[in-house]
């Protein structure tokens, strides 16, 4: 059985070769958008399958595979970010994997397996564990029970406790070659694959996501506003853009600022190649110290996306600061 994506083939074959005696703590590390989570799920299914193929991959047909695909396998647990309900009934995604989830997983691995095979705990994102959750998990990682496999997935492995990293067998998954990624995207029916790869920093799954939903349209609307800082109205644009998905806004603005810095310092555009001419002109006018300060503000905003701030006022303040970059 081939890997979920062509650029994961070497990592997939490395995992399959260990199926009889897998690492009890595995860390899949690498940038977002390269398929680490999909690879982790395929590996979990391969371990739980009761009639694996000759190469060790899951058969997809046995009862265990059917349970896994239906998210009902009794020997599998997933630790991930969960939706939370606020005081006024609104739902939002938690910003961390919390200690109660980790404690439930610890209790789970102390029980006997239901199917007399492997027991698998998948933690994705592992760098989302809060400190209490990480410490709870560390205790069982130090001496994992027999036939228990922990699979940790991380975009930012440095955020993991060093003691957790040291107990894991690590597989690093980097960006695929641009040609391979573009060929795969073209096979998925994606036009302008190279431009989308540049916009996504070389990550093919993020490039594919840009073609889904309204994100590309939202991006263009934001960039057309940022392209003319002398004429932008912070109040009007703040009100207009408050409905843009906060994560989309953060990524678009962050990469726009990154391109301005790249033009200012190196004379080149890294992400937004379809706005290269505009960026070349703006980069020459930008005040470097103010641009760096705004880029730091944008980086910090990534940590507070779920905070219940007044979105229009937050955007208005950002746009005023952006306009001053070109004063």
In the chain, where are the structural domains located? 6-172, 213-324
Whose CA is closest to 149, among 122, 115, 111? 122
Cβ–Cβ under 8 Å, residues 114 and 77: no
Is the pLDDT score of 94 beyond 70? yes
Is the pLDDT score of 302 beyond 90? no
Q: Phi first, then psi: give them for residue 76, nearest 5 degrees.
A: -130, 135
Q: How confident is the model at residue 211 (pLDDT cuts 50, 70, 90)?
A: confident
pLDDT value of residue 216: 86
Most distant CA atoms of the chain, gap in Å = 69
Is the pLDDT score of 87 beyond 70? no
CA gap 158, 232 in Å, rounded: 39
pLDDT value of residue 247: 82
Is the pLDDT score of 306 beyond 60? no
Cβ–Cβ under 8 Å, residues 139 and 106: yes
Cβ neighbours, 10 Å, residue 117: 14
DSSP type of residue 189: T
Listed range (22-31, 78-87, 125-134, 170-179) with the worst mean pLDDT: 78-87
pLDDT value of residue 304: 53
149-162 per-position pLDDT tens digit: 999 999 999 999 99
120-172 per-position pLDDT tens digit: 999 999 999 999 999 999 999 999 999 999 999 999 999 999 999 999 999 99
Cβ neighbours, 10 Å, residue 191: 9
- Reduce the DSSP state of residue 25 to 3 states and report it: strand
The model's pTM: 0.84
Cβ–Cβ under 8 Å, residues 245 and 215: yes
- Reduce the DSSP state of residue 117 to 3 states and report it: coil
CA gap 239, 246 in Å, rounded: 13
For domain 6-172, the CATH superfamily is P-loop containing nucleotide triphosphate hydrolases (3.40.50.300)
Rg of the Cα atoms in the chain = 23
Is the pLDDT score of 73 beyond 80? yes
Q: What sign results for the dihedral spanned by CA atoms 240, 245, 247, 251? A: negative
The C-alpha angle 18, 69, 211, rounded to 5 degrees, equals 95
Q: How confident is the model at residue 303 (pLDDT cuts 50, 70, 90)?
A: low
CATH architecture of structural domain 213-324: Up-down Bundle (1.20)
The C-alpha angle 205, 208, 209, rounded to 5 degrees, equals 90
pLDDT value of residue 202: 93
Residues in CB range of 91: below 8 A, 6 or more apart? 83, 84, 85
Whose CA is closest to 121, among 136, 7, 132, 31? 136
Q: Which residue has the tokens 């001419």?
A: 277
Q: Which residue has the tokens 């239901």?
A: 114
CA gap 109, 3 in Å, rounded: 28
């Amino acid at each position: 059985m081939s890997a979920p994506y062509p650029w994961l083939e070497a990592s997939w074959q490395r995992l399959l070769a260990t199926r009889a005696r897998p690492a009890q703590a595995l860390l899949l590390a690498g940038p977002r958008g390269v398929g680490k989570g999909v690879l982790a799920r395929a590996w979990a299914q391969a371990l739980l399958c009761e009639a694996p193929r000759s190469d060790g991959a899951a058969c997809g047909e046995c009862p265990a595979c059917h349970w896994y695909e239906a998210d009902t396998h009794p020997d599998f647990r997933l630790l991930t970010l969960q939706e939370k309900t606020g005081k006024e009934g609104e739902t939002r995604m938690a910003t961390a994997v919390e200690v109660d989830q980790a404690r439930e997983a610890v209790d789970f691995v102390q029980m006997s397996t239901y199917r007399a095979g492997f027991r698998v705990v998948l933690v994705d994102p592992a760098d989302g564990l809060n400190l209490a959750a990480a410490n709870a998990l560390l205790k069982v990682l130090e001496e994992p029970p027999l036939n228990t496999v922990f699979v940790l997935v991380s975009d930012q492995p440095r955020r993991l406790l060093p003691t957790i990293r040291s107990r894991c067998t690590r597989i690093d998954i980097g960006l695929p070659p641009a040609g391979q990624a573009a060929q795969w995207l073209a096979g998925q029916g994606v036009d302008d694959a190279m431009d989308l790869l540049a916009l996504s920093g070389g990550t093919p799954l993020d490039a594919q996501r840009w073609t889904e939903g309204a994100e590309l349209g939202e991006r263009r609307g934001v960039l057309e506003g940022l392209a003319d800082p002398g004429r932008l109205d912070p109040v009007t644009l703040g009100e207009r853009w408050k409905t843009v998905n906060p994560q989309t806004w953060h990524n678009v603005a962050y990469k726009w600022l990154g391109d301005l810095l790249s033009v200012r310092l190196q004379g080149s555009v890294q992400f937004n190649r379809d706005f290269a001419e505009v960026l070349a002109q703006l980069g020459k006018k930008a005040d470097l110290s103010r641009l760096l300060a705004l880029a730091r503000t944008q980086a910090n905003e990534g940590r507070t996306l779920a905070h219940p701030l007044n979105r229009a006022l937050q955007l208005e303040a950002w746009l005023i600061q952006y306009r001053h970059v070109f004063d």
